[in-house]
């Protein structure tokens, strides 16, 4: 989990005190791990992570605070979706830019097909998520069968059965949003877009959007992050 934060920082997607990853505790599923507030992703270590209950109270002694908005978002998702063990939310550049349109991405290439019928949009913007009702609306927008969400005027949220899966989806969705923006720029100048057909997109998604495949997609990033940190990420 700490390596995931350092990876996102290395990719240039750390954004001040915003952004969070959560992981359901494997011993007590009513608790979850989350990053401390205002700790730079590039400096994150395993020992910095905070274990909280669904009221936002730390379960173990910690000197750290927890982002209130982050707690509400992740708590709502974990309560609504028992199948989701990990969730990743960032205000990354391309995701934040594309979210201003309040729409999903198009099936423009093989990588975009990871999100065929596996991406929802939370329309509207309720401000910083500091109300329980807003967290519930976010969880409702995700639904019962999707793992990825574009939050209009806000950013991206991706989920999975493992941190690796959730973060692999996040990396892929951020890049898909960047590609969408580039394609829109070309199309605005008269270049016609060609789309992947529904049948081909569904087949590609079936092949590439499995928990195992997403897990393996993150492993090269994980290995590089651990190597670059000299192992400190695991402390």
- What is the mean pLDDT of the segment spanning 208-217? 94
* pLDDT for 43 beyond 80: yes
Give the domain extent around 174: 2-234
Q: For residues 57 and 34, give the distance between their C-alpha atoms in angstroms, rounded to a whole number.
A: 12
If pLDDT is split at 50, 70 and 90, which confidence band does 15 have? confident
DSSP state string for 147-170: -EEEETTTEEEEEESSHHHHHHHH
* pLDDT for 16 beyond 80: no
Q: Say which CATH number the domain at 221 has.
A: 3.40.225.10
* pLDDT for 214 beyond 90: yes
Predicted pLDDT of residue 14 = 86
Question: How many domains, in total, are found in the chain?
Answer: 1
**What are the pLDDT digits (tens) for 159-206?**
999 999 999 999 999 999 999 999 999 999 999 999 999 999 999 999
Q: For residues 23 and 3, give the distance between their C-alpha atoms in angstroms, rounded to a whole number.
A: 13
Half-sphere exposure of 2 (CA within 13 A, CB side): 17
By the 8 A CB rule, do 103 and 180 touch?
Answer: no
DSSP state at residue 192: P
If pLDDT is split at 50, 70 and 90, which confidence band does 129 have? low
Which segments within the chain are labelled E, that is strand?
20-24, 32-34, 50-52, 86-90, 120-122, 148-151, 155-160
Half-sphere exposure of 94 (CA within 13 A, CB side): 19
Of the candidates 223, 204, 213, the residue with the CA atom closest to the CA atom of residue 165: 213
């Amino acid at each position: 989990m700490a390596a995931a934060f350092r990876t996102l920082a290395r990719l240039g997607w750390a954004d001040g005190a915003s952004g969070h990853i959560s992981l359901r505790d494997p011993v007590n599923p009513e608790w979850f791990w989350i990053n401390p507030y205002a700790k730079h992703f590039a400096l994150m270590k395993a020992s910095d992570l905070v274990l909280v209950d669904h009221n936002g109270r730390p379960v173990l002694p910690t000197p750290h605070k927890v982002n209130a908005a982050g707690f509400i978002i992740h708590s709502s998702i974990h309560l609504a979706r028992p199948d989701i063990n990990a969730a990743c939310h960032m205000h990354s550049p391309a995701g934040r830019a594309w979210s201003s349109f309040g729409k999903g991405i198009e099936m423009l290439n093989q990588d975009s097909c990871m999100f065929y019928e596996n991406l929802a949009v939370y329309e509207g913007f309720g401000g910083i998520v500091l109300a329980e009702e807003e967290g519930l609306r976010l969880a409702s927008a995700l639904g019962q069968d999707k793992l990825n969400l574009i939050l209009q005027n806000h950013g991206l949220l991706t989920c999975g059965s493992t941190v690796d899966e959730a973060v692999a989806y996040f990396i892929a969705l951020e890049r898909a949003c960047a590609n969408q923006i580039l394609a829109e720029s070309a199309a605005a100048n008269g270049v016609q877009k060609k789309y992947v057909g529904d049948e081909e997109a569904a087949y590609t998604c079936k092949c590439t959007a499995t928990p195992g495949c997403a897990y393996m997609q993150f492993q090269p990033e994980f290995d590089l992050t651990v190597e670059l940190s000299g192992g400190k990420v695991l402390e």
